[in-house]
Structure 1
Amino acid sequence: MKKTVWLLAVLTLMVTIIPLQTMPALLPVDYSIGGEVRRWGSKYSYLILPMVTLLITLLWQFLVAHFERRVVGDDKEAQGAAANAKVLVSVGLVMNLFFCLLQAGLLWSAAWTAEHFGTAGGAQAGASIAQTAQKAMCVLTSVMLILLGNILPKTRKNRNVGVRLPYSRYNDITWQKSNRFGGTAMVIAGLLGMASALLAPSAELALGLFTVFLLLAVIATTWYSRKVYLEESAEK
């Protein structure tokens, strides 16, 4: 699984480097929310996301190694470290798959827009494609939230991964309840975000609704974590 995470990181770089060889020097690098090109830039600016993906994967590798080093014996701490290492591997897989698909979509949209820009109806068609790409990005991000939401409840109390609020880290009960609730909130936000991307008449509305759903999930999780903390601390 860890090799697959690195493979996806390298693949994100390769699906960028290979097409860039035949693309024009200038590509659209900034779009309005309506899908219109606002700025053109060097095609090599599309290397930023793959490089960031590699850096994130390197950080991910250090975190996984950190938990794996703590898997000594069969006590509670070792079991928790082993569980968190497995969670991080799953998270890395989901994140890098997301980055790879996102980069492929961004490059395709930029290449099509650059090829047809200036032709009859090209700008309008390009805006429509950019709108579709933005909706697709919303769907892709929603799927990622759903997957991560299912992974989140499997974490054990730690400082690096999960719902890491002062309230949630009070004890094992506050951690488990907070992460279970947070995972459910992420799944609901992902499902609603996907529905808005598929049903909303514009990318602006879809992205706006997705942002609202995500903020509500964060607020609700924080509120619930504090509620559980107050209940637990009152008992002591």
Structure 2
Amino acid sequence: MKPYIRTGLIWSALMIAVMVASTVWTLSALPAEGPIPVHFSLDGTPNRYGTRLEVMLVFSFVPVIAAIVSAILAVAPSLDPRGANIDVGSKAYIAVWIGVMIVLTLAHIGACMVLINAINGTPAGPGIVRGIIAGCALLFVAMGNYLPKTRPSFMFGVRTPWTLSSDMAWEKTHRLAGRLFMIAGGLGFIGAFVMNGIWLALQLSALVFAAAIISVVYSYFAWRGADDHDEGTSLTV
């Protein structure tokens, strides 16, 4: 097993263990009978109730998703025809992998805290939501920092027909994308503490979406100006 894959799996196992422990702690605090909050507004106030079984299913969802994501990330370099390039850019790959696991864990713990507070009659307020959004924003800053260090692959990075057919287009696109995602993450981090209402929930998604769209569009023009873009062959079948 490649060292960076082993590192990713170890971090994933630790984070999933924390999620499972948080889930067990939360379930142990649930009342034996009566409706239990299962959905909350941005200020932490319950706006939908369900059964104990529904809560158990909801709080099992994130650890399961984390395990699936980890499995995909572990096998992706072996399945990618350009997996050797992922090996070369393994620092970027493992940084994003660990970052995703940490954010999922923080989000899960935050959800547990919101539920426990609601059960105790003390709504958590928007602080936990702000913390989760701020954590996601920092993840995009880290991703942006590492994107220029990636190499062409089918599993990781800004994968368009143009970046995958030209190494020069890949490099130029990821230099720009790295800056854009760092800016989006930085602005999203600030927005997590100054925005309110629906804008608190939407601002980071809007910033990241804009960074992604600009990167994709730019990749075409980078390809057009590249010296190594694939012109195809004259072979016929």
Match 1:232 to one of 211, 226, 229: 226
Cα 1:139–1:204 shift into 2, 3 Å: same
Q: Which residue of 2 aligns with 1:59?
A: 72
Q: 1:162-181 residue pairs with structure 2 within 5 A? A: 162-181=157-176
2-structure distance, mates of 1:78, 1:218:
23
Q: Which residue of 1 aligns with 2:235?
A: none
User: Structure 1 residue 49: deviation in Å?
Assistant: 0.7
Cα 1:24–1:212 shift into 2, 3 Å: same
Cα 1:102–1:181 shift into 2, 3 Å: same
Does structure 1 retain, via aligned residues, the 8 Å contact 2:162–2:220?
A: yes
Q: Which residue of 1 aligns with 2:28?
A: 21
Q: 1:202-217 residue pairs with structure 2 within 5 A? A: 202-217=196-211
Q: Secondary structure at the match of 1:232?
A: coil
Spell out, residue by residue over 1:144-196, the C-alpha distance to the aligned partner (whole angstroms, 9 max, x if none): 11111112222111100011111221211111111121121111001001111
Normalised to the residue count of structure 2, the TM-score between the two structures is 0.81
> Are residues 1:32 and 2:41 paired?
yes
1-structure distance, mates of 2:73, 2:36:
31
Q: Which residue of 2 aligns with 1:96?
A: 101
Give 1:54's aligned amino acid. Answer: A
Q: Which residue of 2 aligns with 1:188?
A: 183
Q: 1:105-124 residue pairs with structure 2 within 5 A? A: 105-116=110-121
Q: Which residue of 2 aligns with 1:9?
A: 16
2-structure distance, mates of 1:165, 1:174:
10
Q: Which residue of 2 aligns with 1:74?
A: none
Does structure 2 retain, via aligned residues, the 8 Å contact 1:87–1:151?
A: yes
User: Structure 1 residue 105: deviation in Å?
Assistant: 0.8
Aligned pair count reads 217
With 158-167 and 29-38 compared, the bigger mean Cα shift is at 29-38
- Supply the RMSD in Å over aligned alpha carbons: 2.4
2-structure distance, mates of 1:49, 1:27:
19
User: Structure 1 residue 209: deviation in Å?
Assistant: 2.3
Match 2:215 to one of 213, 221, 236: 221
User: Structure 1 residue 64: deviation in Å?
Assistant: 4.2
Does structure 2 retain, via aligned residues, the 8 Å contact 1:13–1:51?
A: no
Q: Relative to total residues, which structure has the larger helix share, 1 or 2?
A: 1
Does structure 2 retain, via aligned residues, the 8 Å contact 1:189–1:217?
A: yes
Gaps of 5+ in 2: 1-6, 232-237
Cα 1:23–1:155 shift into 2, 3 Å: same
1-structure distance, mates of 2:144, 2:228:
29
Normalised to the residue count of structure 1, the TM-score between the two structures is 0.81
2-structure distance, mates of 1:4, 1:35:
30
> Are residues 1:161 and 2:156 paired?
yes
> Are residues 1:137 and 2:132 paired?
yes
Match 1:148 to one of 132, 143, 157: 143
User: Structure 1 residue 141: deviation in Å?
Assistant: 0.9
